[in-house]
Amino acid sequence: MLSRRHVLALMAAAGAAPALASCGPNAGTDDGGLRVYWWGGDLRAGITQDVLDMYTADHPEVSVAPEYSEWSGYWDKLATQTAGGASPDVIQMDEAYIDSYGSKGSLLDLETVSDTLDLSAMDEAILETGRLADGTLVGAPNGFNLYATGMNPTILEKAGIALPDDTTWTWEDFLALSQELSEWGKSSGDGEFGTNGFGLGAGDLAAWARQTNNEQLFPRDDEELVTKDTIVSLLDFSLSLGASGAAPEAGAQIENSSASLEQGLFATNRCAFRQVPSSQILAFQDSSGAPLQLLRMPGRTSGQSNMVNKASMYWSLGAEATDPAAAAGLTGFLLTDEAAAEVLKIERGIPAFPAIQEAVRPLLTENELISLDFAQMMQEEVVKPPVVTPASGVGFGDEYTRLAEESLFEKRSPSDVADEMLEILTGMQPER
Protein backbone atom coordinates (compact mmCIF):
# COMPACT_ATOMS: atom_id res chain seq x y z
CA MET A 1 0.00 0.00 0.00
CA LEU A 2 1.22 3.46 -0.79
CA SER A 3 2.26 5.54 2.15
CA ARG A 4 0.43 8.73 2.94
CA ARG A 5 3.67 10.63 2.23
CA HIS A 6 3.86 9.12 -1.25
CA VAL A 7 0.26 9.96 -2.09
CA LEU A 8 0.42 13.50 -0.78
CA ALA A 9 3.77 14.16 -2.42
CA LEU A 10 2.26 13.30 -5.76
CA MET A 11 -0.77 15.46 -5.05
CA ALA A 12 1.47 18.34 -4.04
CA ALA A 13 2.85 18.41 -7.55
CA ALA A 14 -0.33 20.13 -8.74
CA GLY A 15 0.53 23.02 -10.98
CA ALA A 16 4.00 21.68 -11.72
CA ALA A 17 2.95 18.63 -13.70
CA PRO A 18 1.20 18.76 -17.05
CA ALA A 19 -2.32 17.42 -17.40
CA LEU A 20 -1.93 13.71 -17.89
CA ALA A 21 -4.00 11.54 -20.14
CA SER A 22 -4.74 8.09 -18.75
CA CYS A 23 -2.56 5.38 -20.15
CA GLY A 24 -2.46 1.62 -20.42
CA PRO A 25 -4.68 -0.98 -22.04
CA ASN A 26 -7.69 -0.09 -19.90
CA ALA A 27 -7.39 3.68 -20.27
CA GLY A 28 -10.44 5.80 -20.96
CA THR A 29 -10.99 7.63 -24.20
CA ASP A 30 -10.46 11.36 -24.63
CA ASP A 31 -13.80 12.00 -26.37
CA GLY A 32 -15.26 13.96 -23.47
CA GLY A 33 -16.96 10.94 -21.88
CA LEU A 34 -17.37 10.49 -18.15
CA ARG A 35 -14.23 8.90 -16.76
CA VAL A 36 -15.05 6.23 -14.16
CA TYR A 37 -12.09 4.90 -12.17
CA TRP A 38 -12.04 1.94 -9.78
CA TRP A 39 -9.69 -0.65 -8.32
CA GLY A 40 -10.22 -4.39 -8.35
CA GLY A 41 -9.53 -7.60 -10.15
CA ASP A 42 -11.05 -9.20 -13.22
CA LEU A 43 -14.38 -10.07 -11.58
CA ARG A 44 -15.04 -6.50 -10.47
CA ALA A 45 -13.86 -5.12 -13.80
CA GLY A 46 -16.21 -7.38 -15.72
CA ILE A 47 -19.37 -6.76 -13.71
CA THR A 48 -18.70 -3.02 -13.49
CA GLN A 49 -18.31 -2.83 -17.25
CA ASP A 50 -21.55 -4.77 -17.68
CA VAL A 51 -23.38 -2.22 -15.53
CA LEU A 52 -21.80 0.74 -17.33
CA ASP A 53 -22.95 -0.79 -20.61
CA MET A 54 -26.47 -1.05 -19.20
CA TYR A 55 -26.38 2.64 -18.34
CA THR A 56 -25.14 3.85 -21.71
CA ALA A 57 -27.70 1.65 -23.48
CA ASP A 58 -30.44 3.54 -21.63
CA HIS A 59 -28.63 6.90 -21.89
CA PRO A 60 -27.12 7.02 -25.39
CA GLU A 61 -26.34 10.70 -24.89
CA VAL A 62 -23.75 9.76 -22.24
CA SER A 63 -20.31 8.45 -23.14
CA VAL A 64 -18.43 6.55 -20.43
CA ALA A 65 -14.68 5.98 -20.35
CA PRO A 66 -13.85 3.17 -17.87
CA GLU A 67 -10.48 2.98 -16.13
CA TYR A 68 -9.43 0.44 -13.55
CA SER A 69 -6.33 -0.76 -11.75
CA GLU A 70 -5.14 -3.25 -9.19
CA TRP A 71 -4.91 -1.78 -5.69
CA SER A 72 -1.11 -1.64 -5.83
CA GLY A 73 -1.07 0.96 -8.59
CA TYR A 74 -4.40 2.65 -8.01
CA TRP A 75 -3.45 5.45 -5.63
CA ASP A 76 -0.22 6.26 -7.44
CA LYS A 77 -2.11 6.81 -10.68
CA LEU A 78 -4.95 8.75 -9.02
CA ALA A 79 -2.55 11.04 -7.19
CA THR A 80 -0.65 11.75 -10.40
CA GLN A 81 -3.83 12.48 -12.32
CA THR A 82 -5.15 14.72 -9.57
CA ALA A 83 -1.87 16.62 -9.34
CA GLY A 84 -2.00 17.18 -13.09
CA GLY A 85 -5.55 18.47 -13.11
CA ALA A 86 -6.85 15.33 -14.84
CA SER A 87 -8.84 13.67 -12.06
CA PRO A 88 -11.52 11.16 -13.14
CA ASP A 89 -15.17 12.23 -12.92
CA VAL A 90 -16.42 9.27 -10.87
CA ILE A 91 -13.90 7.76 -8.43
CA GLN A 92 -14.00 4.66 -6.27
CA MET A 93 -12.64 5.94 -2.96
CA ASP A 94 -11.33 4.24 0.18
CA GLU A 95 -11.83 5.35 3.80
CA ALA A 96 -8.10 5.69 4.38
CA TYR A 97 -7.69 8.25 1.58
CA ILE A 98 -10.99 10.10 1.35
CA ASP A 99 -9.84 12.86 3.71
CA SER A 100 -6.54 13.22 1.83
CA TYR A 101 -8.49 14.12 -1.30
CA GLY A 102 -11.64 15.63 0.19
CA SER A 103 -9.96 18.06 2.59
CA LYS A 104 -7.78 19.39 -0.25
CA GLY A 105 -10.80 20.24 -2.37
CA SER A 106 -10.27 17.44 -4.89
CA LEU A 107 -13.71 15.88 -4.32
CA LEU A 108 -17.12 17.40 -4.98
CA ASP A 109 -19.53 18.13 -2.13
CA LEU A 110 -22.24 15.60 -3.04
CA GLU A 111 -24.96 17.70 -1.46
CA THR A 112 -24.46 20.22 -4.27
CA VAL A 113 -25.82 17.63 -6.72
CA SER A 114 -28.52 16.17 -4.46
CA ASP A 115 -31.22 16.93 -7.04
CA THR A 116 -29.53 14.33 -9.28
CA LEU A 117 -27.82 12.08 -6.75
CA ASP A 118 -30.53 11.48 -4.15
CA LEU A 119 -29.07 9.73 -1.09
CA SER A 120 -31.99 10.46 1.23
CA ALA A 121 -33.13 6.81 1.36
CA MET A 122 -29.79 5.71 2.80
CA ASP A 123 -29.69 5.19 6.56
CA GLU A 124 -28.00 8.19 8.17
CA ALA A 125 -25.75 5.88 10.20
CA ILE A 126 -24.29 4.64 6.90
CA LEU A 127 -24.32 7.94 5.02
CA GLU A 128 -22.44 9.58 7.90
CA THR A 129 -19.39 7.45 7.07
CA GLY A 130 -18.87 9.53 3.91
CA ARG A 131 -18.58 12.90 5.68
CA LEU A 132 -15.39 14.73 6.52
CA ALA A 133 -14.82 16.11 10.00
CA ASP A 134 -16.37 19.44 8.92
CA GLY A 135 -19.53 17.66 7.78
CA THR A 136 -18.92 17.88 4.03
CA LEU A 137 -20.30 14.83 2.25
CA VAL A 138 -17.65 13.73 -0.25
CA GLY A 139 -18.32 9.98 -0.42
CA ALA A 140 -21.50 8.04 -1.16
CA PRO A 141 -21.00 4.67 0.57
CA ASN A 142 -21.20 2.00 -2.08
CA GLY A 143 -21.23 -0.77 0.47
CA PHE A 144 -20.62 -1.19 4.18
CA ASN A 145 -19.67 -3.68 6.84
CA LEU A 146 -19.08 -3.85 10.57
CA TYR A 147 -16.10 -4.99 12.60
CA ALA A 148 -17.50 -8.08 14.27
CA THR A 149 -16.58 -11.41 15.84
CA GLY A 150 -16.45 -14.37 13.51
CA MET A 151 -17.30 -17.71 15.12
CA ASN A 152 -16.85 -21.30 14.02
CA PRO A 153 -19.77 -23.06 15.77
CA THR A 154 -18.54 -26.50 14.69
CA ILE A 155 -15.53 -26.23 17.01
CA LEU A 156 -17.74 -25.31 19.98
CA GLU A 157 -20.11 -28.18 19.19
CA LYS A 158 -17.21 -30.65 18.98
CA ALA A 159 -15.97 -29.38 22.35
CA GLY A 160 -19.45 -29.67 23.87
CA ILE A 161 -19.41 -25.97 24.77
CA ALA A 162 -22.56 -23.85 24.49
CA LEU A 163 -22.59 -20.99 22.00
CA PRO A 164 -22.18 -17.59 23.67
CA ASP A 165 -24.94 -15.03 24.07
CA ASP A 166 -23.42 -12.15 22.14
CA THR A 167 -26.04 -9.69 23.38
CA THR A 168 -24.56 -9.82 26.86
CA TRP A 169 -21.01 -11.23 26.68
CA THR A 170 -18.01 -9.28 27.90
CA TRP A 171 -14.31 -9.52 27.11
CA GLU A 172 -13.85 -11.45 30.36
CA ASP A 173 -16.43 -13.95 29.08
CA PHE A 174 -14.60 -14.08 25.76
CA LEU A 175 -11.28 -14.79 27.50
CA ALA A 176 -12.74 -17.55 29.68
CA LEU A 177 -14.54 -19.17 26.74
CA SER A 178 -11.47 -19.01 24.50
CA GLN A 179 -9.32 -20.50 27.25
CA GLU A 180 -11.79 -23.36 27.73
CA LEU A 181 -11.76 -24.06 23.99
CA SER A 182 -7.96 -24.08 23.85
CA GLU A 183 -7.78 -26.49 26.78
CA TRP A 184 -10.20 -28.78 24.96
CA GLY A 185 -8.15 -28.48 21.77
CA LYS A 186 -5.01 -29.51 23.64
CA SER A 187 -6.64 -32.44 25.42
CA SER A 188 -8.32 -33.68 22.24
CA GLY A 189 -5.04 -33.68 20.35
CA ASP A 190 -6.47 -31.56 17.54
CA GLY A 191 -4.77 -28.41 18.81
CA GLU A 192 -7.55 -25.89 18.17
CA PHE A 193 -7.35 -22.52 19.94
CA GLY A 194 -10.10 -20.30 21.20
CA THR A 195 -8.89 -17.19 19.38
CA ASN A 196 -5.81 -15.41 18.11
CA GLY A 197 -4.51 -11.99 17.13
CA PHE A 198 -6.83 -9.68 19.04
CA GLY A 199 -5.05 -6.47 20.00
CA LEU A 200 -2.60 -6.43 17.09
CA GLY A 201 -4.61 -4.12 14.83
CA ALA A 202 -5.61 -0.49 15.17
CA GLY A 203 -9.20 -1.54 14.54
CA ASP A 204 -9.05 -3.47 17.82
CA LEU A 205 -7.97 -0.35 19.66
CA ALA A 206 -10.70 1.71 17.98
CA ALA A 207 -13.37 -0.80 19.07
CA TRP A 208 -11.94 -1.08 22.60
CA ALA A 209 -11.79 2.72 22.93
CA ARG A 210 -15.40 3.21 21.78
CA GLN A 211 -16.44 0.90 24.60
CA THR A 212 -14.52 3.09 27.06
CA ASN A 213 -16.49 6.31 27.52
CA ASN A 214 -16.72 6.58 23.71
CA GLU A 215 -13.05 7.47 23.32
CA GLN A 216 -11.81 7.83 19.74
CA LEU A 217 -8.54 7.59 17.85
CA PHE A 218 -9.40 10.79 15.98
CA PRO A 219 -12.06 12.56 18.04
CA ARG A 220 -14.47 15.23 16.89
CA ASP A 221 -14.70 18.41 18.95
CA ASP A 222 -17.26 16.83 21.26
CA GLU A 223 -15.37 13.54 21.70
CA GLU A 224 -12.34 12.49 23.75
CA LEU A 225 -9.00 11.13 22.53
CA VAL A 226 -8.20 7.59 23.62
CA THR A 227 -6.28 7.64 26.89
CA LYS A 228 -3.11 5.87 27.97
CA ASP A 229 -5.08 3.78 30.48
CA THR A 230 -7.33 2.51 27.69
CA ILE A 231 -4.38 1.57 25.48
CA VAL A 232 -2.63 -0.19 28.38
CA SER A 233 -5.79 -2.12 29.24
CA LEU A 234 -6.03 -3.45 25.67
CA LEU A 235 -2.36 -4.44 25.55
CA ASP A 236 -2.71 -6.16 28.92
CA PHE A 237 -5.77 -8.04 27.66
CA SER A 238 -3.93 -9.11 24.51
CA LEU A 239 -1.09 -10.44 26.67
CA SER A 240 -3.55 -12.30 28.88
CA LEU A 241 -5.00 -14.14 25.88
CA GLY A 242 -1.61 -15.66 25.11
CA ALA A 243 -0.56 -16.17 28.72
CA SER A 244 -3.76 -18.07 29.55
CA GLY A 245 -3.55 -20.25 26.44
CA ALA A 246 -6.73 -18.74 25.02
CA ALA A 247 -4.58 -17.75 22.02
CA PRO A 248 -1.27 -19.15 20.71
CA GLU A 249 2.06 -17.85 21.98
CA ALA A 250 3.29 -14.53 20.60
CA GLY A 251 5.42 -15.85 17.75
CA ALA A 252 2.61 -18.00 16.39
CA GLN A 253 0.16 -15.09 16.56
CA ILE A 254 2.53 -12.80 14.66
CA GLU A 255 3.17 -15.50 12.07
CA ASN A 256 -0.55 -16.04 11.66
CA SER A 257 -1.21 -12.30 11.23
CA SER A 258 1.16 -12.23 8.26
CA ALA A 259 -0.31 -15.33 6.61
CA SER A 260 -2.81 -15.06 3.79
CA LEU A 261 -6.47 -15.10 4.76
CA GLU A 262 -6.88 -18.60 3.35
CA GLN A 263 -3.97 -20.02 5.38
CA GLY A 264 -4.73 -18.46 8.75
CA LEU A 265 -5.97 -20.32 11.82
CA PHE A 266 -9.58 -19.16 11.52
CA ALA A 267 -9.85 -20.04 7.83
CA THR A 268 -8.41 -23.50 8.41
CA ASN A 269 -10.69 -24.41 11.36
CA ARG A 270 -7.93 -24.17 13.96
CA CYS A 271 -9.45 -21.43 16.12
CA ALA A 272 -13.03 -20.71 17.08
CA PHE A 273 -13.12 -16.90 17.17
CA ARG A 274 -11.57 -14.07 15.22
CA GLN A 275 -12.49 -10.38 14.96
CA VAL A 276 -13.20 -9.68 11.28
CA PRO A 277 -14.84 -7.16 8.94
CA SER A 278 -18.27 -8.69 8.45
CA SER A 279 -17.95 -8.67 4.66
CA GLN A 280 -14.95 -11.03 4.90
CA ILE A 281 -16.94 -13.86 6.43
CA LEU A 282 -17.73 -15.29 2.99
CA ALA A 283 -14.04 -15.60 2.13
CA PHE A 284 -13.40 -17.37 5.44
CA GLN A 285 -16.35 -19.68 4.79
CA ASP A 286 -15.06 -20.57 1.35
CA SER A 287 -11.67 -21.50 2.81
CA SER A 288 -12.86 -23.34 5.91
CA GLY A 289 -15.92 -25.08 4.52
CA ALA A 290 -17.50 -24.53 7.93
CA PRO A 291 -20.85 -22.82 8.66
CA LEU A 292 -19.28 -19.71 10.18
CA GLN A 293 -21.36 -17.09 11.97
CA LEU A 294 -21.05 -13.42 12.86
CA LEU A 295 -21.48 -12.15 16.41
CA ARG A 296 -21.38 -8.78 18.11
CA MET A 297 -18.09 -7.73 19.63
CA PRO A 298 -17.85 -8.54 23.34
CA GLY A 299 -18.26 -5.44 25.49
CA ARG A 300 -16.15 -4.00 28.26
CA THR A 301 -19.54 -3.70 29.93
CA SER A 302 -22.25 -6.29 29.30
CA GLY A 303 -24.54 -5.29 26.44
CA GLN A 304 -22.32 -2.40 25.30
CA SER A 305 -20.70 -3.62 22.10
CA ASN A 306 -20.86 -0.12 20.53
CA MET A 307 -20.73 -1.46 16.97
CA VAL A 308 -20.35 0.97 14.07
CA ASN A 309 -20.84 0.92 10.32
CA LYS A 310 -17.77 1.25 8.13
CA ALA A 311 -17.96 1.96 4.43
CA SER A 312 -16.35 -0.80 2.42
CA MET A 313 -15.71 1.85 -0.24
CA TYR A 314 -17.34 4.96 -1.70
CA TRP A 315 -18.24 6.54 -4.98
CA SER A 316 -16.92 10.11 -5.08
CA LEU A 317 -17.04 12.77 -7.78
CA GLY A 318 -14.02 14.76 -8.87
CA ALA A 319 -14.29 18.43 -7.89
CA GLU A 320 -13.49 19.39 -11.48
CA ALA A 321 -15.85 16.91 -13.10
CA THR A 322 -16.60 18.05 -16.65
CA ASP A 323 -20.34 17.51 -16.14
CA PRO A 324 -21.20 17.12 -12.42
CA ALA A 325 -24.89 16.44 -13.12
CA ALA A 326 -24.08 13.65 -15.57
CA ALA A 327 -21.51 12.17 -13.18
CA ALA A 328 -24.06 12.31 -10.36
CA GLY A 329 -26.67 10.61 -12.53
CA LEU A 330 -24.34 7.75 -13.35
CA THR A 331 -23.35 7.39 -9.70
CA GLY A 332 -26.99 7.25 -8.68
CA PHE A 333 -27.53 4.44 -11.18
CA LEU A 334 -24.58 2.47 -9.77
CA LEU A 335 -25.98 2.84 -6.27
CA THR A 336 -29.74 2.55 -6.64
CA ASP A 337 -30.73 0.75 -9.85
CA GLU A 338 -32.13 -2.69 -9.07
CA ALA A 339 -31.08 -4.22 -12.39
CA ALA A 340 -27.54 -2.98 -11.79
CA ALA A 341 -27.64 -4.39 -8.26
CA GLU A 342 -28.56 -7.81 -9.63
CA VAL A 343 -25.24 -7.78 -11.50
CA LEU A 344 -23.08 -6.21 -8.77
CA LYS A 345 -24.68 -8.08 -5.83
CA ILE A 346 -22.44 -7.69 -2.75
CA GLU A 347 -19.06 -7.77 -4.48
CA ARG A 348 -18.32 -4.28 -3.13
CA GLY A 349 -19.94 -4.93 0.25
CA ILE A 350 -23.49 -4.90 1.60
CA PRO A 351 -25.41 -2.33 -0.54
CA ALA A 352 -25.94 0.90 1.35
CA PHE A 353 -29.61 1.31 0.42
CA PRO A 354 -32.21 -0.90 2.16
CA ALA A 355 -34.24 -1.33 -1.04
CA ILE A 356 -31.18 -2.57 -2.92
CA GLN A 357 -30.35 -4.98 -0.10
CA GLU A 358 -33.76 -6.56 -0.59
CA ALA A 359 -33.37 -6.56 -4.37
CA VAL A 360 -30.23 -8.69 -4.16
CA ARG A 361 -31.40 -10.92 -1.31
CA PRO A 362 -33.05 -13.58 -3.56
CA LEU A 363 -29.83 -13.85 -5.56
CA LEU A 364 -27.51 -14.52 -2.64
CA THR A 365 -26.25 -17.84 -1.39
CA GLU A 366 -26.87 -19.04 2.15
CA ASN A 367 -23.32 -18.05 3.06
CA GLU A 368 -23.68 -14.59 1.52
CA LEU A 369 -26.89 -14.01 3.46
CA ILE A 370 -25.01 -14.35 6.75
CA SER A 371 -23.25 -11.07 6.08
CA LEU A 372 -26.40 -9.31 4.85
CA ASP A 373 -28.60 -10.53 7.71
CA PHE A 374 -26.05 -9.53 10.33
CA ALA A 375 -25.58 -6.05 8.86
CA GLN A 376 -29.32 -5.46 8.72
CA MET A 377 -29.87 -6.71 12.26
CA MET A 378 -27.20 -4.42 13.66
CA GLN A 379 -28.69 -1.23 12.22
CA GLU A 380 -30.97 -0.96 15.25
CA GLU A 381 -27.94 -0.92 17.57
CA VAL A 382 -25.07 0.83 15.80
CA VAL A 383 -23.63 3.98 17.34
CA LYS A 384 -22.34 7.05 15.53
CA PRO A 385 -19.41 6.05 13.31
CA PRO A 386 -15.99 7.58 13.91
CA VAL A 387 -14.82 10.41 11.70
CA VAL A 388 -13.08 9.24 8.52
CA THR A 389 -9.36 8.74 9.01
CA PRO A 390 -7.74 12.16 8.55
CA ALA A 391 -4.96 12.53 6.01
CA SER A 392 -2.56 13.08 8.89
CA GLY A 393 -3.46 9.72 10.44
CA VAL A 394 -3.27 7.31 7.51
CA GLY A 395 -0.06 5.71 8.81
CA PHE A 396 -1.24 5.03 12.35
CA GLY A 397 -2.33 1.46 11.64
CA ASP A 398 1.20 0.39 10.72
CA GLU A 399 2.69 2.19 13.72
CA TYR A 400 0.15 0.63 16.06
CA THR A 401 0.81 -2.93 14.85
CA ARG A 402 4.59 -2.48 15.11
CA LEU A 403 4.30 -1.34 18.72
CA ALA A 404 1.61 -3.86 19.69
CA GLU A 405 3.90 -6.66 18.52
CA GLU A 406 6.68 -5.32 20.79
CA SER A 407 4.25 -5.51 23.70
CA LEU A 408 3.07 -9.00 22.78
CA PHE A 409 6.67 -10.24 22.59
CA GLU A 410 7.25 -8.54 25.98
CA LYS A 411 10.17 -6.55 24.61
CA ARG A 412 8.65 -3.47 26.24
CA SER A 413 6.02 -2.94 28.88
CA PRO A 414 2.45 -2.03 27.87
CA SER A 415 2.96 1.28 29.67
CA ASP A 416 6.03 2.21 27.62
CA VAL A 417 4.38 1.09 24.39
CA ALA A 418 1.23 3.05 25.22
CA ASP A 419 3.27 6.20 25.81
CA GLU A 420 4.78 5.97 22.32
CA MET A 421 1.47 5.08 20.70
CA LEU A 422 -0.20 8.06 22.30
CA GLU A 423 2.65 10.37 21.31
CA ILE A 424 2.37 9.23 17.68
CA LEU A 425 -1.42 9.46 17.70
CA THR A 426 -1.39 12.92 19.25
CA GLY A 427 1.03 14.11 16.59
CA MET A 428 -1.30 12.79 13.88
CA GLN A 429 -4.35 14.71 15.04
CA PRO A 430 -5.55 17.09 12.31
CA GLU A 431 -5.32 20.81 12.82
CA ARG A 432 -8.55 22.33 14.08
How far apart, in whole angstroms, are the C-alpha atoms of residue 3 and residue 5? 5
> Does residue 34 register a pLDDT over 60?
yes
Output the CA–CA distances (angstroms, integers) from residue 183 to 186, 194, 198, 208, 246, in the order listed: 5, 9, 19, 26, 8
If asked whether residues 97 and 23 sit together in one domain, one would say yes
pLDDT at 24 (0 to 100): 33
pTM higher than 0.75 for the full model? yes
State how many domains the chain has: 2
> Does residue 1 register a pLDDT over 60?
no
Angle (CA) 332 335 339, round 5°: 100
If asked whether residues 41 and 175 sit together in one domain, one would say no
If asked whether residues 298 and 152 sit together in one domain, one would say yes
If asked whether residues 270 and 286 sit together in one domain, one would say yes
In a domain, 214, yes or no: yes
If asked whether residues 40 and 113 sit together in one domain, one would say yes
Lowest pLDDT segment from 32-36, 118-122, 267-271, 343-347: 32-36
> Does residue 432 register a pLDDT over 80?
no
In a domain, 187, yes or no: yes
- For the stretch 325-358, pLDDT in tens is 999 999 999 999 999 999 999 999 999 999 999 9
In a domain, 362, yes or no: yes
What is the domain extent for residue 139? 4-143+312-366
If asked whether residues 193 and 233 sit together in one domain, one would say yes
In a domain, 371, yes or no: no
Q: Are 179 and 245 in contact (CB under 8 A)?
A: yes
- CATH number of domain containing 96: 3.40.190.10
Residue-wise over 285-314: b if at least 16 C-beta within 10 A, else e? bebbebebbbbbbbbbeeebbbbbbbbbbb
Confidence of residue 72 (pLDDT cuts 50, 70, 90): confident
> Does residue 20 register a pLDDT over 80?
no
If asked whether residues 418 and 303 sit together in one domain, one would say yes
Work out the mean pLDDT of the chain and round it to a whole number.
Answer: 91
- Residues of the chain with pLDDT > 90, as a percent, come to 87
Task: Note the helical H segments in 12-41.
Answer: none
pLDDT at 103 (0 to 100): 93
If asked whether residues 279 and 415 sit together in one domain, one would say yes
If asked whether residues 302 and 226 sit together in one domain, one would say yes
Strands in 59-168 per DSSP E: 64-69, 90-93, 140-151
